[in-house]
């Protein structure tokens, strides 16, 4: 009986440990992901830009971006400080309100021009489309893009000039 109790306690301890390291949606220091609708509402109040990670469940590069880029501490900190972050499944039928109309996540992804995955979409706090960046990005490149968008440098400096100004 004692062995049984010890084994049961060990299993409970292991399970508790696993749940304490929940994924990026948790408050464990990862990106604070929101649904599309939540992010749009929050952006109206916070004035933050909206960053939308358009993905599919079968996309290997999406998973790599989750594992490497969105897990990077500098990326996490920058996103949480300056953006409302959204995960948008390009194949989902889940509906959200956007600019007064109801759309599925699939329709939103298509409307934002996402035809390959991952695609990162940027919107202003006013819900206006800024740009969509297709493909996988490592943390260093992604941080540059986040800064370029957040500081609105795209309005008067080309991407090439911006990167050059950073010594790259």
What CATH number does residue 110 fall under?
3.40.30.10
| Cα-based distances in Å from 64 to 71, 103, 120, 126, 131 | 10, 28, 14, 31, 22
Q: b/e string for 22-45 if b means 16 or more Cβ within 10 A? A: eebeeeeebbbbbebeebbebbee
Q: Is residue 117 part of a domain?
A: yes
Q: Is residue 79 part of a domain?
A: yes
Q: What is the mean pLDDT of residues 45-61?
A: 97
Q: Is residue 94 part of a domain?
A: yes
- Report yes or no: 61 and 93 within 8 Å, Cβ to Cβ: no
Within a 13 Å sphere around the CA of 112, how many CA atoms are in the beta-carbon half? 35
- Report yes or no: 33 and 102 within 8 Å, Cβ to Cβ: no
Q: Is residue 97 part of a domain?
A: yes
Q: Number of structural domains, the chain? A: 1
Q: What is the pLDDT of residue 55?
A: 98
Question: Does the pLDDT value for residue 106 go beyond 60?
Answer: yes
Q: Is residue 7 part of a domain?
A: no
Q: Which residues span the domain enclosing 141?
A: 24-165
* Rounded Cα gap, residues 109 and 138, in angstroms: 22
Q: How confident is the model at residue 25 (pLDDT cuts 50, 70, 90)?
A: very low
Q: Is residue 55 part of a domain?
A: yes
Q: Is residue 118 part of a domain?
A: yes
| Cα-based distances in Å from 26 to 5, 8, 36, 49 | 31, 26, 17, 21
Q: What is the pLDDT of residue 168?
A: 76
Q: What is the pLDDT of residue 28?
A: 52
The enclosing H or E element of 16 equals helix 2-20
Whole-number average pLDDT of the chain: 86
pTM reported for the whole predicted model: 0.81
Q: Is residue 156 part of a domain?
A: yes
Q: How confident is the model at residue 120 (pLDDT cuts 50, 70, 90)?
A: very high
């Amino acid at each position: 009986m004692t062995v049984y109790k010890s084994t049961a306690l060990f299993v409970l301890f292991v399970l508790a440990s696993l749940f304490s390291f929940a994924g990026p949606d948790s408050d464990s220091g990862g990106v604070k992901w929101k649904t599309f609708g939540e992010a749009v509402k929050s952006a109206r109040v916070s004035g933050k830009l909206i960053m939308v990670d358009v993905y599919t469940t079968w996309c290997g590069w999406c998973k790599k971006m989750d594992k490497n880029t969105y897990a990077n501490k500098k990326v996490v900190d920058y996103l949480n400080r300056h953006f409302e972050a959204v995960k948008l499944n390009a194949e989902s039928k889940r509906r959200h309100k956007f600019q007064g109309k109801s759309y599925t996540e699939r329709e939103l992804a298509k409307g934002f021009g996402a035809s390959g995955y991952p695609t990162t979409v940027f919107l202003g706090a006013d819900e206006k489309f800024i740009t969509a960046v297709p493909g996988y990005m490592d943390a260093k490149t992604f941080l540059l893009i986040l800064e370029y968008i957040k500081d609105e440098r795209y309005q008067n400096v080309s991407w090439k000039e911006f990167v050059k100004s950073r010594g790259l």
